[in-house]
Amino acid sequence: MTVNPRREAMKVETIASGVSDNFFYAVVDPRGRAGLIDPVDAEAAVARVREAGWELEWVINTHWHPDHVAGNAGVLAAFPDAQVVGPAGDRERIDAQFAGDARGAVDVEMRGGESLRVGELSLDVLDTPGHTEGHVSLRYGKHLFSGDVIFSGGAGHCRAGGDVGVQFSTFAHVLGALPDDTIFYAGHDYTARNCEFILSIEPEHREAGAVLEQAKASGPRERFESTLGQERAYNPFLRLADPGLRQALSSRYGESLEAARAQSQSEDEAVFRCLRALRDRW
């Protein structure tokens, strides 16, 4: 783990899991040295690395959930010179899943403010807790590998070791500080379902309707690509101060909004909590 301000050309490849609805990612430097981010499908990951001829240096876990770390041991069995790097705050829960096979456990911890070298590349580590206590994301230029923090049209749930108030803070202070041209690479694609949720609250929301049509036109297991700037136009978790959204919640879900206010430090947080609770039940 070193800090290196240089930015070299990076190749990003999206790989669809065949064992779950996850997507995972390869980041590759110009010399073919690579890291795999959350490669839950070990068979697909190993096949792609071998086919491409990459030199695998890292298996990178953004958080502890099994659908992101279950492929660790299988990948390391094929590429024993690689190491697992994972968030310090989730390390114990990752390691516990590999009690019988230490190859899947974390070799190197990472924390926000550090960077991770993948060959000539230097990826910045961002603390992005909320979905889990120790969740991290990795940023390289305009590319953000965000795990399960944000999805197209939505946000990661907090039902398995997470905290909604902490997730709100991540959206407000971490994602909120990133530029509009930031491309994010999420662990799942729930675009259509998320847009249907938005339209259940705001039936006339044009951007959400347009994205829904695009998502429906996509092929099976094709990831919808978006930027934070695009999300700020329709994703409700990034539009907390939007008067139309607030009015819709107040008129349709007043009791839920009042309950959220009782737990919140601000109206923005109350809107976030209300949305999260509604989406969890929807």
pLDDT at 41 exceeding the cut of 50: yes
As a whole number, mean pLDDT of residues 121-126 equals 98
Instruction: For residues 56 and 133, state if they share a domain.
Output: yes
Number of domains within the chain = 2
Strand partners, 11: 28
135 marked as binding residue:
no
How far is CA 62 from each of CA 50, 91, 144, rounded to the nearest angstrom?
23, 10, 12
**E strand or H helix at 237:** none
Q: What is the pLDDT of residues 143-201, one digit of tens each?
A: 999 999 999 999 999 999 999 999 999 999 999 999 999 999 999 999 999 999 999 99
- Pairwise pLDDT comparison (224 vs 3), residue with the higher score: 224
The pLDDT-based confidence of 100 (bands split at 50, 70, 90) is confident
**Strand residue runs (E) in the chain:** 11-16, 23-28, 33-37, 55-60, 83-87, 108-110, 115-118, 121-127, 136-140, 143-147, 150-151, 154-155, 183-186
| Same domain membership, residue 133 and residue 31 | yes
In the 8-state DSSP scheme, what is residue 7? -
3-class secondary structure, 105:
coil
Q: Which of 35, 77, 80 is nearest to 59 (CA)?
A: 35
Q: How crowded is the C-beta side of 183, counted as CA atoms within 13 Å? A: 9
CB 189 within 8 Å of CB 150: no
One domain for residues 138 and 222:
no
The confidence band for 246, taking pLDDT boundaries of 50, 70 and 90, is very high
Are 196 and 138 part of one and the same domain? Answer: no
How far apart (Å, rounded) are the C-alpha atoms in residues 60 and 252? 42
Residue 3 inside a domain? The answer is no
* 144 and 225 belong to one structural domain: no
Q: What is the mean pLDDT of residues 226-236?
A: 98
Q: Inform me whether the pLDDT recorded for 5 exceeds 90.
A: no
pLDDT at 123: 98
Q: Are the C-beta atoms of 261 and 250 separated by less than 8 Å?
A: no
Cβ-contact 252, 201 below 8 angstroms: yes
Please, what is the angle between helix 243-252 and helix 267-281, to 10°?
Answer: 60
Same-domain check for residues 17 and 77: yes
Mean pLDDT (whole number) for 84-108: 93
- Look over the chain and give the mean of its residue pLDDT values, rounded to a whole number: 95
How far is the C-alpha of 199 from the C-alpha of 201, rounded, in Å?
5
- Does the annotation list 180 as a binding residue? no
- Structural domain harbouring 43: 11-148
Instruction: Answer yes or no: is 242 a known binding residue.
Output: no
Percent of the chain with pLDDT over 90: 93
The verdict on whether residue 67 carries a ligand-binding annotation is yes
Q: Is residue 244 part of a domain?
A: yes
123 and 198 belong to one structural domain: no
In a domain, 19, yes or no: yes
Question: According to the annotation, is 157 in a ligand binding site?
Answer: no
Instruction: For residues 139 and 55, state if they share a domain.
Output: yes
Domain end residue (candidates: 116, 148, 180): 148
Is the predicted pLDDT of residue 133 greater than 90, yes or no?
A: yes
Indicate whether 33 belongs to any domain.
yes
Q: Is residue 181 part of a domain?
A: no
Final residue of a domain: which of 94, 129, 148?
Answer: 148
Domain shared by 231 and 119, yes or no:
no
- The CATH number of the domain where 141 resides is what? 3.60.15.10
Structure tokens at 107: 């070799």
Coil/strand/helix, residue 136: strand
Residue that terminates a domain, selected from 114, 148, 182:
148
User: What pLDDT, on a 0 to 100 scale, did the predictor assign at position 194?
Assistant: 97
On whether 90 is known to bind a ligand per the annotation, the reply is no
HSE-up of residue 51 (Cα within 13 Å, Cβ side)? 7
- Whether residue 175 is contained in a domain is answered as no
Residue 63 lies in a domain: yes
Q: Give the 3-state secondary structure of residue 114.
A: coil
The pLDDT-based confidence of 8 (bands split at 50, 70, 90) is low
| pLDDT (0 to 100) of residue 2 | 41
Is residue 87 predicted with pLDDT exceeding 80? yes
Structure confidence at residue 220 (pLDDT): 78
Residue 6 resides in a domain:
no
- Please give the single-letter amino acid code of residue 112: G
Could you tell me which of 170, 136, 163, 175 has the C-alpha nearest to residue 38? Answer: 136
Q: How confident is the model at residue 103, as a pLDDT?
A: 87
- Residues of the chain above pLDDT 70, percent: 97
Q: Are residues 197 and 257 in the same domain?
A: yes
Give Cβ neighbours of residue 200 (< 8 Å, ≥ 6 apart).
Answer: 282
| Residues 195, 265 within the same domain | yes
User: Do both 22 and 134 map to the same domain?
Assistant: yes
Q: Is pLDDT of 83 > 90?
A: yes
- What is the pTM (predicted TM-score) of this model? 0.94
